[in-house]
Amino acid sequence: MVERFNDAWERGDLATVSACLAEDVSYCPNAWDGPAATVRGRAAVTAAFADQLGPDEGPLLGPVWADGDRVVCEWAWAPAGDGTVLRGLDVYRVRDGRIVAKDVYGKITRSG
């Protein structure tokens, strides 16, 4: 499921991304600039994702690991001009073939 979600994410296919989400999905982004606010419900989460999708819009998605209903995916943005790299993990919960939670954890490191 998460690999299908990631493929749609990288293609910018918002309809398929949304179809991968449970109606009661929750999304908690990383807190880059303060406390993270959890977004709840398929419509609200889909709206939050709308400007993050596509091949030129987001990070390079890495391998996916699953154990039961828990799934983890690595990601990293291209290095910024100052050599810093934003990288992290998305932690998912899956139920009945749909994503019910996506939590984002990241940090900034110096490349090289």
> Which whole-number Å values give the CA distances from 17 to 28, 82, 102, 107, 108, in the listed order?
16, 32, 12, 25, 26
Higher pLDDT, 51 or 97: 97
Phi, psi of 29 (to 5 degrees): -70, 165
Distance CA 91, CA 100 (A): 11
pLDDT of residue 53: 81
Encode pLDDT of 52-86 as tens digits. 887 776 788 889 999 999 999 999 988 888 888 88
Output the pTM of the full model.
Answer: 0.86
Distance CA 108, CA 112 (A): 13
Q: Decide: helix, strand or coil at residue 39.
A: strand
Name the one residue in this structure whose structure tokens are 């807190």: 31
The token duo for 74 is 């690595």
Q: Where are the domains of the chain?
A: 2-110
Higher pLDDT, 33 or 53: 53
Asked if CATH classification 3.40.50.720 holds for the domain at 2-110, the reply, yes or no, is no
pLDDT of residue 32: 66
What is the overall mean pLDDT for the chain? 89
